[in-house]
Structure 1
Amino acid sequence: MEEDVKAFLEHLAAQRKYSPNTLAAYRNDLSQLVAYLKSGGVVGEINPAEPDLSAGALAGYLRSLKERKYRPSTVARKVAAAKLFLKFMVERGRVRGDLAPLLSSPQVSKPRPSTLSVSEVRRLLAAPSKLSTSEAKRDKAMLELLYATGLRASELMALNVTDIDIRGNTVRCVSRGSKLRVIPIERHVAKMVKEYIDHVRPELLSHEDELALFLNRRGDRLTRQGFWQIVQGYADRTGLGGKVTPRSLRHSFAAHRLKSGADLESVQALLGHAHISTTKAYLQVAADS
């Protein structure tokens, strides 16, 4: 099954454009599944002629996750990975019959989205301006663009220079599932990004063929982990500490938009949510803020 897992991960990377971090999580989860099946004598592919064995093996895997005292959210993630993999196996003809229903996911209560107040956001966005380095000017553009668009950190780091339309005041983003969305930005944010592209990015650039919008000090595309560390640094500088993450800025974007009167469907489109129920989680946050 290792070759099946490899093919599955290649499929996720090529067709669904999953990030390296997501792929790594799937690889770890599925390696655990394969190891369990091997330890139980289910070697190679699951035998479609022995449904009892398949059912028993998958039920045993689920029990093993619960016995390890994983958090419900962790079990749910591992089960989701296994279900998607089994669906892929069926589509490839490696397994006959839908085995995914044999794995039941635990109920997981979704935490309320963590947001910042408008004043806290302003404090954070102002922090890079107190420094004069090229990196600080880059950071200013990144933070402003993140809060102006509600992009995921991975989406922000995946942006290329050509994804920014300065004249049209828009950002083009390829989101999960290879879906394209075009997000409008205010003129002052577009101007700030243009200043970065024209005057700051060339100072960081080390090779002319680099397409990435945001670069690290070596001139390569800034990673999601690198961006997270940058955000944490400014959070510490402003006394906001662990309250600030790239995700909390995305949450704040959504809550503040709704608070300002934006309709739910438009915020859903901006965030790239597949289901409006996901966006509805911000309604109460907006009402309380």
Structure 2
Amino acid sequence: MSEAIDEFLAMMAAERGAAANTMAAYRRDLEGAEEIVGDLALAGKPSLARLGKAWADLAPSSVARKASALRQFYGFMVDEGLRKDDPSSSLPRPATRRPLPKILSHGEIETLFVQAEEEAASEMPQSVRLLAMLELLYGSGLRATELVSLPLTAVPRDAPFLTITGKGGQQRMVPVSGRAKEALTRWLEVREEKSRYLFPSRDKHLSRVRLYQMLKKLALRANLSPEKLSPHVLRHAFATHLLEGGADLRVLQNLLGHADIATTQIYTHVDAARLVALVNERHPLADRRAPD
């Protein structure tokens, strides 16, 4: 890997506070491009133009992500005076439309919780733990990484909030429902490991992969399609169902930890008819009638 990539990643970590997963994705994309065109620091427009053909079989979203990483890399090179030109204009620009996340209905959420609660009634530590994690994923809208890496000190004592460290090291407060607090209390009563993590595994915390596996298996036991369930789907259900209940979009932005409200608008979909009804009912001029 070229030294310039190392310098770029160091900048992303130090100045922009990029999360570990983001850094790893940038590294993969930049190293992959370098395998095709050679040293990125020296590559010109003709070399970068070859990437379009090399990426021809990839999904448009993957091509857009890779091209974005390279554009940021070359922007850094120019800003730092390491290059006078920016060759990224020759990169492919696929038309992409961000897909909406998968959806769980209220009935499916209910079925899932009934199954988890029945299993937790056995007081088996693994079942109690799964219920507590499910409550936080759907009840507080946590990301998978945020959930599994929660420190034990994050458990609320008096105030019904969790302090979450999200992407880029940004902290936010998220509410903990009465149900979730009860589930956490039950988990702490049966939790045996001495660890600084709320959900420990060996000498660290539970992995994201293991969390995905646990949810898939729970879906099967609840007679739901395992393809429909993941931490991200539960986070989306949290946002969608709150929005359906009348939550403000700005409030959701804060709860979800989105830096840009545009992300929240894409992430939380509502039907047009409900939005029209909301405007007609809540707008300050809603009670004024047009003259005959």
Partner of residue 68, structure 2? 80
Identical pairs, percent: 34
Partner of residue 106, structure 1? 94
TM-score (norm 2): 0.82
How much does 1:34 deviate?
Answer: 0.9
The structure-2 alpha-carbon separation of the partners of 1:142 and 1:78, relative to structure 1 and needing over 3 Å to count, comes to same
Name the SS of the counterpart of 2:237 in structure 1: helix
In the TM superposition, 1:231-270 aligns within 5 A as 231-241=215-225, 242-270=227-255
Query: C-alpha deviations, 1:179-228, integer Å up to 9, x for none?
Result: 2111112233223213323x122x2x1xx4x3221123x35300111101
Name the SS of the counterpart of 2:162 in structure 1: strand
Decide whether the 8 Å contact of 1:256 with 1:286 is kept in 2. no
How much does 1:151 deviate?
Answer: 1.2
Decide whether the 8 Å contact of 1:170 with 1:183 is kept in 2. yes
Q: In 2, Cα distance between the equivalents of 1:31 and 1:141? A: 39
Instruction: Give 1:192's aligned amino acid.
Output: A
The structure-2 alpha-carbon separation of the partners of 1:239 and 1:19, relative to structure 1 and needing over 3 Å to count, comes to farther
Q: 2:132 aligns with which of 141, 151, 156?
A: 141
Name the SS of the counterpart of 1:165 in structure 2: coil
Q: 1:226 aligns with which of 184, 200, 210?
A: 210
How much does 1:105 deviate?
Answer: 2.8
TM-score (norm 1): 0.82
The structure-2 alpha-carbon separation of the partners of 1:127 and 1:12, relative to structure 1 and needing over 3 Å to count, comes to farther
Q: In 1, Cα distance between the equivalents of 2:13 and 2:32? A: 20
In the TM superposition, 1:87-102 aligns within 5 A as 87-102=75-90
1:116 aligns with 2:104: yes
Q: 1:59 aligns with which of 49, 55, 58?
A: 49
Decide whether the 8 Å contact of 2:172 with 2:257 is kept in 1. yes
How much does 1:126 deviate?
Answer: 2.9
Stretches of structure 2 that go unaligned for 5 or more consecutive residues are 275-292
1:19 aligns with 2:15: no
1:284 aligns with 2:275: no
Q: 1:130 aligns with which of 118, 121, 142?
A: 118
Q: 2:185 aligns with which of 194, 201, 204?
A: 194
Q: How many equivalent pairs are there? A: 268
How much does 1:273 deviate?
Answer: 1.7
1:153 aligns with 2:131: no
Decide whether the 8 Å contact of 1:175 with 1:181 is kept in 2. yes
Q: In 2, Cα distance between the equivalents of 1:287 and 1:141? A: 35
Name the SS of the counterpart of 2:165 in structure 1: strand
Q: Which moved more, 1:26-35 or 1:167-176?
A: 26-35
Name the SS of the counterpart of 2:174 in structure 1: strand
The structure-2 alpha-carbon separation of the partners of 1:165 and 1:105, relative to structure 1 and needing over 3 Å to count, comes to farther
Q: In 1, Cα distance between the equivalents of 2:203 and 2:190? A: 12
Stretches of structure 1 that go unaligned for 5 or more consecutive residues are 47-52
Q: In 2, Cα distance between the equivalents of 1:212 and 1:144? A: 17
CA RMSD of aligned residues (A): 2.5
Decide whether the 8 Å contact of 2:143 with 2:231 is kept in 1. yes
How much does 1:10 deviate?
Answer: 4.9
The structure-2 alpha-carbon separation of the partners of 1:173 and 1:59, relative to structure 1 and needing over 3 Å to count, comes to same
Q: Which moved more, 1:85-94 or 1:150-159?
A: 85-94
Partner of residue 181, structure 1? 172
Decide whether the 8 Å contact of 1:255 with 1:285 is kept in 2. no
The structure-2 alpha-carbon separation of the partners of 1:99 and 1:236, relative to structure 1 and needing over 3 Å to count, comes to same
